[in-house]
Amino acid sequence: MKKCIFILALIALFPLFGNEPSLTIHDQDEIVVLKQLIEATQKSLNEQHTLLQSILRYRAVRELFFDDTTNSRKATNLVKMALQISNQLEESKMTHLFSKEFLEELSFYSSVGRKNGLGK
DSSP string of 25-69, one letter each residue: HHHHHHHHHHHHHHHHHHHHHHHHHHHHHHHHHHHHHHHHHHH-T
Q: Say yes or no to pLDDT of 96 above 70.
A: yes
pLDDT digits (tens, 9 = 90+) for 20-39: 555 566 667 888 999 999 99
Average pLDDT over the chain, rounded to an integer = 84
Kindly report the pTM of this predicted structure: 0.68
> Which pLDDT score, from 0 to 100, does residue 18 have?
52
pLDDT digits (tens, 9 = 90+) for 48-86: 999 999 999 999 999 999 999 899 899 999 999 999 999
Q: Which amino acid, 63? A: E
> Which pLDDT score, from 0 to 100, does residue 82 have?
95
